[in-house]
Structure 1
Amino acid sequence: MKKTFVLVVLFIFPLVAYLFFASGVNNFGKLPVLTENVPEPIQFSGDNQLTDKITILGFLGKNIGKKKGNAFNLNQKIYKRFSEFNDFQMLMIVPNGLEDEVGALKEELGALSEVDKWNFAFGEEGDVQNFFRSLGTNLELGQDFSTPYVFIIDKDRNLRGRNDDEDEGVKFGFNTTSVAELNNKMEDDVKIILAEYRLALKKNNANRSK
């Protein structure tokens, strides 16, 4: 009896869990596209590629020290959970002149996890504002060119989010101030988009093998 229980736990339960998750992705469909064709941020120096990346996009603004808590929440709840996936990245947009502050932040994050997929791009304040507006959200940057919200950008540079969120209706971004929101909403949505790409990859591989 004990051996049977152990076998169920080790082999059957993971299979059932996988099938449940896979069917859930199929039932819910793809994560909705809220804004198409987000432009490449080529006006920024540093890491500035969106195409072919699954990107968590954020705007840290001019007061990096005040955004450390947001960055740590994002690192612990999202980055550490998904950083092992290929083509996944964090991309933070920052005004020029804050390279030293960003370096210090990255060093602090590095004490908690690997930070090879934490990327930063620097540009003029006007370019930061214009690029944010190109996302087409219902949100605004603060006077310091920051927002606590981060956004999911897919490999085709589409902003993904929710169009039937129980609290906001249309949900463009996720508030990094709220650990509950990262845990209960953003983590689920990142799982969906990663599963979506894995499913597409499996279909492509199956078609090639025929």
Structure 2
Amino acid sequence: MKITKKRVVLFLLFIFPLICFLILSTGKNNFTKLPVVTENVIDISAINASKTFKNNVSLVCFLGDNIELNKGGFFNLNEKIYKIFIDYKQFQIIAIYPKDKEVEVATLKKEISAFTNMANWNFLAAEQEEIKILFSSFKTNENLANLYTSKVFLIDKNGNLRGRTNDEDSTIDGKLFGYNMQSVAELNAKLKDDIKVLYYEYYAAFKHKNENKADRKEVGL
């Protein structure tokens, strides 16, 4: 058969998209799941009984002793991540600070709220030892200097720390435990994408569960 320009155009317009659709539709788990880097971190309810990681997608940050010095990262997190995901179900930010920093936190909240609906921001006071114990349960390669780290951490609905195991910028075994709030590029290129992957993972699991229910109903089970 002679390959003509017309046949090539027809292939690109009709046949190729159909092949792509068939490939995509035949796999039920053909997407990449976001790796678990630490299982079963301490639940935030240990610090505040009214809050929990369970059944939520949580971003956790540690404000530290010098909130004024470090606040740029929290503004980045608010602008580049929070405002995008505020309407996603069960999405929350947990910001943990030492109990003697209430005045500084009130100022930070006021500054952020000037541009933002704060409904899913949760500022929780804790004792220094409580903060250290919670952070240590993440089992990261990060340091908590003066109760602060520039990294924000992604916790899934089961209380597991999610991240990356083949991060091209990581110098330790390719593992990425947290995302640098001081880097707009990292928030945009990594954290934003990883949150979307996690939500799609839940969507795919929900869809698969409903398909199984429908199949069981059809066969009378």
TM-score band by shorter chain is: 0.7 to 0.9
Q: Which of 155, 161, 164 pairs up with 1:162?
A: 164
Tell me the equivalent position of 1:34.
37
Q: What is the distance in 1 between the residues matched to 2:46 and 2:125?
A: 9
Quote how far apart the aligned CAs of 1:42 are: 3.1
Compute the TM-score of the two structures, normalised by the length of structure 1: 0.83
CA displacement 1:27-63 (0-9 Å, x = unmatched): 4421000100111133424753111110011101111
Tell me the equivalent position of 2:14.
none
Q: Percent identity at matched positions?
A: 44
Listed as ranges, the matches of 1:14-25 within 5 Å are none
For structure 1, list consecutive stretches of 5 or more residues without a partner in the other structure. Answer: 1-18
Q: What is the distance in 1 between the residues matched to 2:57 and 2:71?
A: 23
Tell me the equivalent position of 2:204.
199
User: Counterpart of 2:163 in structure 1: which amino acid?
Assistant: G
Q: CA separation of 1:191/1:47 partners in 2, compared to 1, >3 Å: closer, same or farther?
A: same
User: Counterpart of 1:50 in structure 2: which amino acid?
Assistant: F
Quote how far apart the aligned CAs of 1:107 are: 1.9
Quote how far apart the aligned CAs of 1:26 are: 4.6
Q: Which of 58, 65, 82 pairs up with 1:62?
A: 65
Quote how far apart the aligned CAs of 1:122 are: 1.4
User: Counterpart of 2:159 in structure 1: which amino acid?
Assistant: R
Using the TM superposition, name which of 47-56 and 151-160 deviates more. 47-56
- Give me the CA root mean square deviation: 2.1
Tell me the equivalent position of 2:190.
185
Structure having the larger proportion of residues in strand:
1
SS at match of 1:42: helix
Quote how far apart the aligned CAs of 1:130 are: 1.4
Q: Is the 1:73–1:176 Cα contact (8 Å) retained in structure 2?
A: yes
Tell me the equivalent position of 2:180.
175
Listed as ranges, the matches of 1:39-188 within 5 Å are 39-45=42-48, 48-142=51-145, 144-168=146-170, 169-188=174-193
Q: Which has the larger radius of gyration?
A: 2
Q: Is the 1:46–1:121 Cα contact (8 Å) retained in structure 2?
A: no
Compute the TM-score of the two structures, normalised by the length of structure 2: 0.79
Tell me the equivalent position of 1:13.
none
For structure 2, list consecutive stretches of 5 or more residues without a partner in the other structure. Answer: 1-20
CA displacement 1:113-144 (0-9 Å, x = unmatched): 211000122111111111101101011101x2
User: Counterpart of 1:207 in structure 2: which amino acid?
Assistant: N
